[in-house]
Chain A
Amino acid sequence: MVTLTRTTVAGRAKSRGRRHRGETLTKILFVLPAVVAMVALFGYPVVKNLLMSLQDYGLKTFFTGVAPWVGLKNYSTVVTDKLFSDAMVNTALFTVGSIAFQFAIGLGLALFFHKKFPLSGLLRSLLLLPWLLPLIVSSATWRSILEQDSGILNRSLMGLHLINDPVPWLNSPSVALIAVIGVNIWIGIPFNVTLLYSGLAEIPDELYEAGQLDGATGWRSFWYITWPNLRAVASVLLMLGVVYTIKVLDIILGLTGGGPANATQTLATQSYEKSFVDFRFGQGAALSNILIAISFVFAIFYLRGTRRAVDE
Chain B
Amino acid sequence: MISKRIAAALAGATTVSLLLVACGDNGGQSPASSGDSVKSLTILDYYNNDPDKSLVQKGLDSCASKLGITIQRETVPGDTLIQKVLQQASSKTLPDVLMLDNPDVQQIAATGALAPLNDMGLNSDGVIQGMVDATSYEGKLYGLAPVTNTIALFYNKDMLAEAGVQPPKTWDELKAASKKLTKPGRYGIAFNANATYEGSWQFLPAMWTNGGDETDLTSPQVAEALQLWVDLVKSGSASKSVINWTQGDAKDQFAAGKAAMMVNGPWQIPALEKTPNVKWDVVTFPLNKPDQTPVAPLGGEAWTVPLNKDQAKQQKAADFVKCLNSDENELAWAKARFTLPTKTALLDQYATEVPSMKAFAEQVKTARARTGKLGDKWPDAAKVIYQAIQLALTGKASAQDAFKQASGG
Give the nearest-CB partner of A168 in chain B.
B240
B86 at the interface (CB under 8 A from A): yes
Chain B residues with CB under 8 A of A262: 195, 387, 390
Does residue B19 face the partner (Cβ distance < 8 Å to A)? yes
A173 and B244 contacting across the interface, CB-CB below 8 Å: no
Q: How far is the CA of A279 from the CA of B196 in the complex (A)?
A: 14
Structural contact, A62 and B86, CB atoms closer than 8 A: yes
Using Cβ atoms and an 8 Å threshold, which residues of chain A touch B90? 62-63, 65
Q: Is the CB of B11 within 8 A of A30?
A: yes
* Contact status A26-B4, CB under 8 Å: yes
Q: Is A32 an interface residue (CB 8 A)?
A: yes
Q: When the two chains form their complex, are residues B258 and A150 in contact, meaning their CB atoms are under 8 A apart?
A: yes
Interface string of B370-409 (1 = CB under 8 A from A): 0000000001000100010011011010000000000010
Docked complex Cα distance between A261 and B22 (Å):
43
In the complex the two chains form, is A261's CB within 8 Å of B241's CB?
no
Contact yes or no, B8 A173, CB < 8 A: no
Q: Which of B8, B9, B18 has the most C-beta atoms of chain A within 10 angstroms of its own C-beta?
A: B8
Contact between B240 and A148 (Cβ–Cβ < 8 Å)? yes
Contacts of A168 in B (CB 8 A): 240
| Contact among B4, B12, B194, B394 for A172, CB-based, below 8 A | B394
Cα-based distance from A257 to B194 in the complex (angstroms): 9
A148-B242 Cα distance, complex, nearest whole Å: 10
Known: A257-B195, A259-B194, A259-B390. Contact between A62 and B240, CB under 8 A?
A: no
Query: Out of A29, A60, A143, A259, which one reaches B243, CB within 8 Å?
Result: A259
B379 and A278 within 8 A (CB): yes
Does A40 touch B at the CB level, under 8 Å? Answer: yes
Give the secondary structure class of B's interface: helix
Given the complex, which residues of A lie within 8 Å of B336, measured CB to CB? none
In the assembled complex, B57 has its CB within 8 A of some CB on chain A: no
Which listed residue, A59, A65, A170, touches B244 by the CB 8 Å rule? A170
Bound together, the chains give a CA A59 to CA B194 distance in angstroms of 25
Is A250 part of the binding interface, using a Cβ–Cβ cutoff of 8 Å? no
Check A261–B387 contact: CB distance below 8 A: yes
Q: Does A182 contact B (CB under 8 A)?
A: no
Q: Is B396 a contact of A257 with CB atoms below 8 Å? A: no
In this assembly, does A295 line the interface, its C-beta being within 8 Å of a C-beta of chain B? no
Give every chain A residue within 8 A of B87 (Cβ-Cβ): 62
List residues of B (296-315) whose CB comes within 8 Å of A's CBs: none
Q: Once the chains bind, are A260 and B111 in contact (CB under 8 Å)?
A: no
Residues of A within 8 A of B86 (CB): 59, 62
For the complex, give the distance between the alpha carbons of A261 and B244 in Å.
10
Whole-angstrom distance from the CB of A261 to the nearest CB of chain B? Answer: 4
Is A204 part of the binding interface, using a Cβ–Cβ cutoff of 8 Å? no
Chain B hits for A276, CB < 8 A: 83
Query: Taking CB as reference atom, which chain A residue is nearest B86?
Result: A62
Docked complex Cα distance between A276 and B107 (Å):
14
A125 interface residue (CB < 8 Å to B): no
- B354 contacts A by Cβ under 8 Å: no
Instruction: Give the complex CA separation of A182 and B254 in angstroms.
Output: 30
Within 29-47 of A, Cβ neighbours of B (below 8 Å) are at: 29-30, 32-33, 36, 40
Q: B345 interface residue, CB < 8 Å from A?
A: no
CB of B188, distance to nearest CB on chain A (Å): 13
Q: In the bound complex, how far is the Cα of B5 from the Cα of A288, in angstroms? A: 43
Alpha-carbon separation in the docked complex, A60 to B90 (Å): 10
Give the contacting residue for A59; candidates B7, B111, B243, B258; CB below 8 A.
B111
Question: Does B14 interact with chain A (Cβ within 8 Å)?
Answer: yes
> For A259, what are the chain B residues with a Cβ–Cβ distance below 8 Å?
194-195, 243-244, 390
**CB-CB under 8 A for A260 and B379, given A40-B22, A59-B86, A62-B90:** no
Q: What residues on A are CB-neighbors of B391 within 8 Å?
A: 261
A276 CB to closest chain B CB (Å) equals 7
Please determine whether B394 and A173 come into contact, CB atoms closer than 8 angstroms.
yes
